[in-house]
Every structure is written in structure tokens, then in C-alpha cells.
Amino acid sequence: MDFNTNELGQIGSKLYELSNTNSLIHSIYLLNDQKKLAFSSLSTRADLFNCILVSTF
């Protein structure tokens, strides 16, 4: 399933909202390895999934 622009905006907004509820949280990442999707409270970059994988190893 692909996400439309509205759904992507809602996901990003919810992650941003959640990250702002606690001052100890800088960012939140939601990863789906099977679909190679990544959502972040900081970014909506299309290649974010690959950036996260490279930076964690």
C-alpha cells in the first residue's frame, strides 16, 4: 500500500506531536523494513530509510 500526500502529512504531524510531548525526546523514527519505508518527526526525505540504515551500522 502506498501513502497519499494527506496520509504522509498526518503521519509526520503525529510523529512531530509525539516528539514534542517529552523534552527528553529529540526525534522519533517509524521504520518498516519490509516496505523500506521510514518516517521521522524531523524529516520527510524519500531516502530516509537508507540514511538511517547507513548511520546505524
The predicted pLDDT at position 57 comes to 39
Quick count: other Cβ atoms within 10 Å of Cβ 37?
15
Please tell me the pTM assigned to this model. Answer: 0.63
Which single residue is written with the C-alpha cell 540504515?
Answer: 53
CA angle 43, 45, 47 (to 5 degrees): 130
Is the CB of residue 27 less than 8 Å from the CB of residue 17?
no
pLDDT interval class at 52 (50, 70, 90): low
Tens of pLDDT, residues 5-39: 888 888 888 988 988 888 888 888 888 788 788 88
Q: Which helix (H) or strand (E) holds 20?
A: none
